[in-house]
Amino acid sequence: MWRAVYESTNFSFEAYGKTEMEARETLLSGLAIHAKQYSCEPDWFFSNDIYIYKIETLVPYRDRSVLLDLQGSVDLLDKVIDEWVVHANDESEDYRVRGAFLSIKKQLGVK
């Protein structure tokens, strides 16, 4: 899921979508509705100030970043590494990544 956010001086806007583009288009349609309701120019907002980022359900966030304890962070890194390895260029790259990750976990004292 994707979240699009725009903060104006007086209002906060947000929209969600299954894709990044869907979230952006939904937010833009909301900004157009707002422009009509408040008799603003159609381009009253600064499009460079629209922020779009991927979100996960059932995951806590703080300031748009995942908020996890140490074990939760390691579990998340395990998932990320597993997904990344699927796209590794070759087997040696897979071993280097896994080795580096295991080293980090060992230094953190986490299993």
Is pTM beyond 0.85 here?
no
Number of domains in the chain: 2
Cα torsion angle, 43, 49, 55, 59, sign: negative
> What average pLDDT does the segment 70-81 reach?
65
Q: Domain for residue 100, yes or no?
A: yes
Average pLDDT for 29-57: 94
Angle between helices 70-86 and 91-108 in degrees, nearest 10: 170
Do residues 56 and 83 share a domain?
Answer: no
Range of the domain at 104: 70-108
Verify that 43 and 7 share a domain, yes or no.
yes
Give 19's DSSP letter.
S
pLDDT score recorded for residue 96? 66
Q: Return the SS3 of 107.
A: helix
Residues 37 and 74 in one domain: no
Q: Could you tell me if 84 and 97 are in contact, meaning their C-beta atoms sit under 8 angstroms apart? A: yes
Q: CA 79 to CA 47: how far, in whole Å?
A: 33
How far from 77 is each of 43, 97, 99, 101, 105, CA to CA, in Å? 41, 12, 13, 8, 10
